[in-house]
Structure formats: structure tokens, C-alpha cells
């Protein structure tokens, strides 16, 4: 069970900074939170739900509906859902150019980002490949911050166990991290294609 706390512990290991010498604990929590929040649209939850059609043309979707890719309609006597064509998305609703559907069931399909919990001990819903991308992005954020701050760069270089660590080696490490993220993202399926 991965949590923001476990991602932060992993980040401590990757950065060799469990004592918070270079990065304060709060910054590391921010790094992992931002990394989880940045996973959409490469990692997402496919959601479905229903609502009852109003007179229209604006139809309100189920709670949380956004990034809609499908809207269908099912009458009370039907066993199958018919695709609605020509709809356009609002925020939590859609303009549906279909008449005489009042009271019928609308079936919605949408994609949702994984939530970033407020508590560091709350379990994350993110799948394992997404967690690894989040770990890499958190590490990238930490090293980019070090390279962007002369004070942190000097402090980081001063506490390294191995002598001779240089800024160019940190840049090379960052490039490798970015390449690793990109190669993992290429393996992810795209968002569902809009239907209708």
C-alpha cells in the first residue's frame, strides 16, 4: 500500500537525505504530492455513471464528471444504450442536441485524475507504473531545485560521500531521470477517444 509518506521515504533513500540536510521534510512532501498530481493524463481512472435526462439541451452528469469521452441514452423500455452524437462538454455537464429524452437514462463515460490525498498516510489509488513515474518526478523536482539554488548546490556537493561529485554529473543524472520518465510514459495507453 503506497502512501505519500512511503513515496517520501523512498525519495529520502534516492536522495540520501533522510536527515533532511538538504531538503526540509515539507519540501519533500510537496515534491511527492506534486508528482502524484502530475500523473494525469498519462495515468487516469476510467469512470462511468448515469443521470436522468432533463428537458435539455444542457444535461447534468454524475458527480465529478469531467473529461467526458462518451454520452449515451437508454429509454426505460430499451436494453441497450444508444450513442449520442454532437454533444459538447461543459464542466460537470454537457450540451446534448437530442430532443424527447426527458426522464431517460444518460450513460456517461469519463476519465479522472488520481486524487492527491490531504493526509500523507492515506493509501494512493495510483497503479504501480504511475507510482514509479511519481517517484522519478519527485526526484527530478528535488535535483532541479538543487541546481537552481547555489546555496543548495554547495550544500549538496559538500555532504556527498563520494568526492568529486559535480554539477555536470547532477545534470547528467537529471537527463537520465527525464529519459526514464519519458520511456515509461510511452508505454501508457492514451485517454479514451471521444465517441459522438
pLDDT digits (tens, 9 = 90+) for 66-92: 899 999 999 988 889 999 999 999 877
Residue 156 and residue 122 share a domain: yes
Contact yes or no for 107/73 (Cβ under 8 A): yes
Of 112, 131, 161, the residue that ends a domain is 112
Residue 161 or 111, more confident: 111
Residue 165 and residue 123 share a domain: yes
Q: Any idea of the CA torsion for 92, 95, 98, 101, to the nearest 10 degrees?
A: 40
* Residue 70 in grid coordinates: 462518451
Distance CA 99, CA 18 (A): 62
Residue 31: inside a domain: yes
Element (H, E) at 172: helix 167-185
- Count other C-beta atoms under 10 Å from residue 46's C-beta: 12
pLDDT at 128: 96
Of 53, 82, 112, the residue that ends a domain is 112
Residue 126 and residue 163 share a domain: yes
Of 71, 93, 112, the residue that ends a domain is 112
* Model confidence at 164: pLDDT above 70: no
* Residue 143 in grid coordinates: 535535483
Task: For residue 162, name the pLDDT band (cuts at 50, 70, 90).
Answer: low
Round the CA-based radius of gyration of the chain to a whole number and report it.
23
Render 27-94 in DSSP notation, one character per residue. Answer: HHHHHHHHHHHT-TTTS-EEEEEEEE--SSSEEE-STT--SEEEEEEE-TT-SSPEEP-S-EE-SSEE
Residue span of the structural domain in which 25 resides: 4-42+115-185
Residue 97: inside a domain: yes
Q: What is the pLDDT of residues 18-66, one digit of tens each?
A: 898 889 999 999 999 999 999 999 999 999 999 999 998 999 999 989 8
pLDDT at 156: 73
Q: What is the pLDDT of residues 180-194, one digit of tens each?
A: 999 999 999 999 999
Residue 57 and residue 35 share a domain: no
Contact yes or no for 43/126 (Cβ under 8 A): yes
Residue 128 and residue 35 share a domain: yes
* Structural domains counted in the chain: 2
Q: Taking the model in full, what pTM does it have?
A: 0.84
Mean pLDDT of the chain: 91
Residue 194: inside a domain: no
Render 141-165 in DSSP notation, one character per residue. Answer: HHHHHHHH-HHHHHHHHHH-SSTT-
Amino acid at each position: 500500500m503506497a502512501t505519500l509518506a512511503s513515496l517520501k521515504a523512498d525519495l529520502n533513500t534516492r536522495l540520501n537525505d533522510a536527515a533532511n540536510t538538504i531538503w526540509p521534510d515539507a519540501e519533500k512532501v510537496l515534491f511527492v504530492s506534486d508528482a502524484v498530481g502530475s500523473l494525469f493524463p498519462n495515468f487516469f481512472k476510467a469512470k462511468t455513471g448515469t443521470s436522468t435526462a432533463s428537458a435539455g439541451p444542457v444535461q447534468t452528469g454524475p458527480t465529478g464528471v469531467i473529461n467526458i469521452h462518451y454520452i449515451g441514452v437508454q429509454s426505460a423500455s430499451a436494453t441497450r444504450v444508444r450513442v449520442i452524437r454532437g454533444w459538447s462538454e461543459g464542466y460537470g455537464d454537457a450540451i446534448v442536441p437530442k430532443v424527447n429524452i426527458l426522464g431517460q437514462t444518460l450513460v456517461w463515460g469519463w476519465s479522472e485524475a488520481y486524487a492527491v490525498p490531504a493526509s500523507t498516510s492515506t493509501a494512493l489509488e495510483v497503479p504501480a507504473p504511475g507510482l514509479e513515474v511519481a517517484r522519478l518526478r519527485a526526484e527530478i523536482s528535488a535535483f532541479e531545485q538543487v541546481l537552481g539554488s547555489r546555496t543548495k548546490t554547495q550544500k549538496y556537493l559538500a555532504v556527498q560521500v563520494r568526492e568529486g561529485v559535480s554539477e555536470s554529473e547532477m545534470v547528467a543524472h537529471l537527463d537520465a531521470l527525464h529519459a526514464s520518465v519519458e520511456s515509461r510514459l510511452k508505454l501508457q495507453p492514451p485517454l479514451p477517444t471521444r465517441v459522438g
